[in-house]
Structure 1
Amino acid sequence: MNRAIFSLCAFFFWVGTGTLPAFAQETLKTSQGQELLTPKGIPNLLFFVQRDPNTNTIVYELNLNSKGVLNEEEPIKIYWLRYADGGGKQELNFIQRKFAYGLHVKKLSAEKFELKFVSYSKRTLYLQKGPDGKWHVYAAIQQKPSVLDRVFVRIEGGTLWVPNVVYAEFKGRESATGKEIVERFKP
């Protein structure tokens, strides 16, 4: 069941091709050679999710109130950067929030939250303050505590509702060393 829902998540990346948006300042190349735009200039960016061949990106941003205090009821804002439509922001629709890109959030303490993708609950993430005093999303990448920067989903074929997810990739920085770390896995 989780694989089917994760595949549904990947389906929503299927729409669109891109033009240069306001939020992208550099690109990343996929293993297939496609260039994907990297969100920049988002002050509270935690991590983002992409898939090829779609240029649209899902952004996970820290949700602070006007006084700079974390909204504990909804600590992360999730939205599209619609590169295919000029780079504007767009809220997720109901299906995307509840079955694809949304997060299950569980408050563990005043400064730590457990996060799980609604579409794939086998990998647990944590929102918490780091040694630098800033909020980060942490994940085990190659079984090492790491700050999560990017999730990439590779899809080849499949059907409209169940695309063939070839792999997912977590990219981040090891907590202990700050070195870049990447892990690919088959969901």
Structure 2
Amino acid sequence: MKLLFTLLSFLYLIPPTVTPVKQKPLKAFAVNNVADDEKFPVLPDNISRLFYVQRSPNINTIVYELNAGKNGQLDPENPVHVYWIRYGEQGQKEELSYIQRKFAYGLTSKQTGNEQYDIRFVSYKKFPLTLMKANDGKYHIFATINQKQMALSRVFIKIEGGSFWLPNVTYVELKGTDPSTGREIIERFKP
């Protein structure tokens, strides 16, 4: 698991090599206190977003959203689309670079049933996630942490020092909701 968070934390330094997607920049955002001295954007609600990842070195955010066509059907080969929102620049949306997609932030997927997928980070395939419809009829990413299932909404990685290749990950925080009660769950651990 440490490899996943190491790769996720240091690859923020690798600038994307793909031309930015042309769209109106997402500049306005709410502020969420993750720690006393840090403020990060809270993404506005979006029906197709599953979860997002943020790291303490900067406020750029990696977004994971459903890859559905106009007919609402998921692409069975690639059900999740991953991209940046570069809040530290102009708030523009950018695709991941090849290295980021294949070695750090990208996902693999395998259909395991009707409208259900096994999802894994390419950088840490031992951490299973499940993409499936919940009782509300919408797709969510589910993770099991400390024997609790949660509909994942956010991952935050706190980094203090270290080096480019081996940053010091202080903690990882997973935020989501209990699918049966709707209650918010926050789990923090040191990898």
TM-score normalised by length of structure 1: 0.89
2: CA distance, partners of 1:47 / 1:136:
9
| Aligned residue number for residue 144 of structure 2 | 140
| Cα distance, 1:134 vs structure 2 | 0.6
| Aligned residue number for residue 20 of structure 2 | none
* Matched residue SS, 1:106: strand
CA displacement, residues 119-152 of structure 1 (integer Å, 9 cap, x when unaligned) = 2233211000000111000111332111000000
How many percent of aligned residue pairs carry the same amino acid?
46
Matched, 1:10 2:14: no
Matched, 1:56 2:87: no
1: CA distance, partners of 2:174 / 2:26:
25
CA contact (8 A) 1:47 1:148 kept: yes
Out of 154, 176, 181, the residue aligned to residue 177 of structure 1 is 181
1: CA distance, partners of 2:127 / 2:171:
14
CA contact (8 A) 1:116 1:124 kept: yes
TM-score normalised by length of structure 2: 0.88
Matched, 1:94 2:124: no
Summarize the Cα distance change of 1:34–1:42 in structure 2 as closer, same or farther, 3 Å threshold: same
Matched, 1:68 2:72: yes
The count of corresponding residues between Structure 1 and Structure 2 is 182
2: CA distance, partners of 1:110 / 1:173:
23
Out of 156, 168, 173, the residue aligned to residue 160 of structure 2 is 156
Q: 75-84 or 121-130, which moves further after superposition?
A: 121-130
Summarize the Cα distance change of 1:89–1:154 in structure 2 as closer, same or farther, 3 Å threshold: same
Gaps of 5+ in 1: none
Matched, 1:39 2:43: yes
CA contact (8 A) 1:14 1:54 kept: no
| Cα distance, 1:91 vs structure 2 | 0.5
Summarize the Cα distance change of 1:146–1:80 in structure 2 as closer, same or farther, 3 Å threshold: same
CA contact (8 A) 2:145 2:187 kept: yes
Gaps of 5+ in 2: 16-24
CA contact (8 A) 2:60 2:86 kept: yes
2: CA distance, partners of 1:128 / 1:176:
15
